[in-house]
Amino acid sequence: MYSDYLDSVIKQFEYYKMLGEKTFKQLRDEDLFRMPGKEDNSIAVIVKHLSGNMLSRWTDFLRSDGEKEWRNRDAEFENDISGRDELLRLWNEGWQVFLNTLRSLRAEDLDKTIYIRNQGHTVVEAINRQLAHYPYHVGQIVYIGKMYAVNWHSLSIAKGDSKQYNEHKFSMPRQRQHFTDEYLKKSDGDDQ
């Protein structure tokens, strides 16, 4: 069961990573740095925060506190990324550390205790904490992206297409698969 859990959460995180990347592709460079309001975060700031969190939480994951001394969380909310290339570098760096750590975990690791700011979590609890945190921020990225995209292409079932989508799904034989499989297969050939 634990290996199924790890496989499932890895696929879910890969799916949310893909949603962010498909959003970036639909935006002009300047849109990545626009702030919807004076006190709001740009997509770039959200990416910077996600990357900082991922690097801190998942570096040396089983051995050191998830809030690293070298992390400067407040600086993550400064809109100072130089351009799309730096944004993508930060995005990929954070996700790589995070996903590589998840892939390195074994079933016997999931009951171990890790600490975030001296607060103990089982590994499962730490993963679940991020399963709520990272999609929350990816949802913000997608929402902001929809506001700024010149011609937004839906990342899920487009408005008005539910009936056709359901008819197609119910015309297929029943099968056991992760819900992200079809989305991740479609995006395998995409370039960043």
Distance CA(160)–CA(150), nearest Å, equals 20
Beta strands in 70-124 (DSSP E): 113-116, 119-122
Q: Structural domain boundaries of the chain?
A: 2-156
SS3 185: helix
Mean pLDDT by 10 residues, the chain (192 residues): 86 97 97 92 98 98 97 96 97 98 96 97 97 98 96 89 88 83 65 40
| pLDDT score for 192 | 38
Nearest to 156 by CA among 13, 32, 15, 36: 15
What pTM, to 2 d.p., does this model score?
0.90
Summarize pLDDT for 165-175 with one digit per residue, the tens: 888 888 988 88
Query: Domain 2-156 classified CATH 1.20.120.450?
Result: yes
